Chains A and B, each alone.
Chain A
Amino acid sequence: MRNLFLLKQVPHRLLSGHIISKMSFVNWIRKLPFTPLQIAMHVYAWSELVLIVYGVLTHHLTANPIQAMEIRTGRHAIALLVLSLACTPLTTLLGWRELLKRRRALGLYAIMYAILHVIIFVDLDNGLAWNYLVQTVIQKSYILYGMAAFLLLVPLAMTSFDVWKMRLGKNWKWLHQLVYFTAPIAALHYAMDVKGDVFHLSGNINAPVNYGIVIALLLVLRLPFIRRFFASLRTRIVFLFTKTIFHPQADSES
């Protein structure tokens, strides 16, 4: 299969008569130092901040811009966290190994928005009124969950660099599996912030419940026996595909 995509340099005669080897467009794309997935990821990650800043400048952030910014940064943080979590299961299902290289950037973007979200909450929303904040965090369980999710993300962000992989060795992997707890806690924080009752599935709970379901699926797909099942399923589908396309007569044998 890979033969189809080998780099091809085709001899090409210019008007002047010289012969050069002309690179194909696909070739040129492959030589760039970044991939389309990388571009898409960075654009998506920054888009929300750009839109928020644009909204602030053009007064397009609703009549309550502080709350609008708080909600949007929080929502984008959880979206990025879920995307980061989705990389491994998608690689299992699709075999696209580049996804595994994007997990770190997505996670760091998630905490970037989480930090903005916390700053907006602490400063813009509550004006650094520490007494009030302490009272709020202690009394309001959904803010406590949000704080827990954020605090769990901090060590992950700090140790996300390669030098830490060497320092921590085996423990690095165990530490980063904390994200399996962080994502559901963040989803619960979201679910309890909206108006409604997530425990009775009434009210404005569609978005956080959807996130919860997706997170649950992404965690389930990591269970070893399920992961092996889908990986082997993928291999079998690819095998059947190549067999029917390229060697149809092989079916009559065996």
Chain B
Amino acid sequence: MSDTYKSVPVLPSEITPKSLYFNRRGFLRAAGLLTGGALLAACAPGGGGSQPTGDPATVAAYTGRKDELGNPLNSYDDITNYNNYYEFSTAKDAVNPLSKDFKSHPWSVEVSGLVSNPKTFAIEDLIKMFPQEDRIYRLRCVEAWSMVIPWQGFPLASLLKAVQPTSAAKYVRFTTLEDTKQFPAEGDTADYPWPYHEGLRLDEAMNDLAILATGLYGSPLPNPDGAPIRLVVPWKYGFKGIKAIVKIELVADQPTTFWQDINAHEYGFYANVNPDVPHPRWLQSSERRIGELGMRPTLMFNGYADKVAYLYQGMDLKANY
């Protein structure tokens, strides 16, 4: 009979959280300040994630990688603790703790509308059918900040080709889950047209840059970033990247989008990143890259002009903002 090693029983609460274990210096610095400001700690804002950081091994594999223009990646911590996800909260740093109980499995996406092969896919089937690719994209928010994010996902075009849109289909419409239990803030914000809905023109959707993302930094997509599946359209403002998708429909008429419904004067359907088209409230000619102090100039189509400019030949981009 072999002696199996039995470790000393340890309460789960005694185990150092992974994030702290891998961030000892930061923890010590904060601890030193905390003892000095013990009174203030009680009312300090809730920053830092309460969800575990991504698997350190896979996160480490991405360290040092850059996008095609040489910009370094933003940290996993920043990407998962600074989110516009109003279903949870309008406070960007509150989305992470509030979304920790979000159930992203089981999940299915219904693809229907003007297609020959409508089908409802389970999320696992989607990942099996369409192999995940690494896409490092810049995300440019309409609020004039941006990040560089290593997504894992598959081109939206692959999914659309599998369901075979008919010739009548001109636009793709996306819808998020509507569930006041999963989304605590949805119940008490009657002034928003829930559920979150977005749309793309069919040729925009068929562009290879548009992906359905299911992973981040080599781990499954975390809740604050739109688990389990979200759209990433890097040449458009971030609000086009609809999160927690449950339905994708092919339609003939241009769909309205969530932010258009709230303020059509400010938020348009196309929402292409364009330094020459100012937003009524922000000059869109510059942005702050999260992690940097200064502002940097905004690039046309967020730097993806060579891949997407053809979609807008002859279009007045000021009128079609």
Contacts and interface: CB of A to CB of B under 8 A. Distances in A.
Contact of A61 (B47, B77, B280): B47
A60 B81 CA distance: 11
Contact of A203 (B26, B40, B262): B262
A67 B40 contact: no
Interface in A123-153: 124-127, 129, 132, 135-136, 139-142
B23 to A, nearest CB: 11
A203 B142 CA distance: 15
A220 interface: no
A195 B279 CA distance: 12
Contacts of A125: 288, 295
The interface residues of chain B, by DSSP majority, are classed as: loop
Nearest to B31: A58
B48 interface: yes
B3 to A, nearest CB: 46
A51 interface: yes
A62 B263 contact: no
Given A58-B30, A193-B281, A51 B290 contact: no
Given A63-B290, A136-B283, A205 B33 contact: no
Interface string B285-321: 0101011011100000000000000000000000000
- Band of interface residues on B: 35 or more
A124 B29 CA distance: 25
Given A51-B43, A197-B263, A202-B192, A64 B82 contact: yes
Of A51, A57, A202, A206, the most chain B CB neighbours within 10 A belong to A202
Contact of A62 (B74, B93, B261, B282): B93
Interface string A86-112: 000000000000000000000000000
B288 A64 contact: yes
A195 B267 CA distance: 10
Contact of A60 (B44, B74, B145, B193): B44
Nearest to A57: B33
B101 interface: no
Interface of B: 26, 29-30, 33-34, 37, 40, 43-45, 47-48, 74, 77-78, 81-82, 86, 90, 92-93, 143, 145, 191-193, 259, 261-263, 265-266, 278, 280-283, 286, 288, 290-291, 293-295
27 contacts: A50-B40, A57-B33, A58-B30, A58-B34, A60-B44, A62-B47, A62-B81, A64-B288, A67-B288, A125-B288, A125-B295, A126-B295, A127-B294, A129-B295, A140-B281, A140-B282, A141-B280, A192-B281, A193-B281, A195-B143, A196-B262, A197-B262, A201-B191, A202-B192, A202-B262, A203-B191, A204-B90
Given A142-B281, A196-B263, 7 more contacts: A58-B33, A58-B47, A59-B30, A63-B74, A64-B288, A126-B295, A132-B286
